[in-house]
């Protein structure tokens, strides 16, 4: 009995938090997605940096920080619980938000975390969320290659994405 209880406790203590797969509703129309986003832009990926959280502070401190962040209104770029990619863009055209020449955002690594797998040198229409210091994007929006009609570039350029 004691051995069984010990095994259950070990299983609970060492079960990773947030190990669920990505789950999202299908994106809306271009105008709907634009309205939901903080920034919408066309940009070329200039760099992708793989990042990992600092997990050397002990499981209790990391768990307490994770709980605190779940209730935070805004998470700075890089304040993530799991590995993620920091993607840098050269902005070609801005459809929502203040015009800028460069932007960075965070996205998952594509391993069940809803992250978008950007490729360096390619142009994308990006529907980003969050403040400029904490922008993020993923597969649950119309974010996609500029050449893909589903990204809505033609609609945005025609002004119908207002």
In tens, the pLDDT along 79-99 reads 556 788 999 999 999 999 999
With beta carbons less than 8 A apart as the criterion, state whether 126 and 96 touch: no
Q: In terms of pTM, does the model score above 0.85? A: no
pLDDT at 46: 98
Length of the chain: 162
CA distance 40 to 31: 11
Domains of the chain, first to last: 27-157 (2.40.50.120)
CA distance 94 to 42: 6
CA distance 85 to 19: 18
Among residues 147, 123, 133, which one has the least CA distance to residue 103? Answer: 133
Q: 74-96 burial, b for 16+ CB within 10 Å, e for fewer?
A: ebebeebbbebbbbbbebeebbb
Lowest mean pLDDT among 6-15, 51-60, 135-144: 6-15
Task: Say whether 128 sits in a helix, a strand or coil.
Answer: strand
Q: How confident is the model at residue 57 (pLDDT cuts 50, 70, 90)?
A: very low
pLDDT at 55: 39
Tell me what the mean pLDDT of segment 132-145 comes to.
Answer: 92
């Amino acid at each position: 009995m004691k051995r069984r209880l010990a095994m259950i406790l070990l299983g609970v203590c060492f079960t990773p938090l947030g190990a669920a797969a990505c789950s999202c509703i299908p994106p809306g129309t271009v105008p709907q997605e634009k309205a939901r986003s903080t920034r919408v832009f066309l940009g070329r990926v200039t760099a992708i940096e793989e990042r990992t959280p600092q997990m050397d502070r002990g499981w209790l401190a990391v768990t307490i920080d994770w709980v605190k962040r779940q209730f935070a209104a805004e998470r700075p770029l890089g304040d993530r619980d799991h590995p993620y990619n920091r993607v840098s863009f050269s902005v070609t055209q801005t459809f929502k938000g203040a015009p800028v020449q460069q932007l960075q955002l965070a996205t998952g690594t594509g391993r069940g975390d809803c992250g978008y797998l950007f490729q360096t040198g390619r142009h994308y229409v990006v529907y980003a969320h969050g403040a400029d210091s904490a922008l993020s994007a993923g597969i649950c929006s119309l974010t996609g290659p500029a050449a893909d009609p589903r990204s809505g570039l033609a609609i945005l350029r025609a002004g119908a994405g207002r």
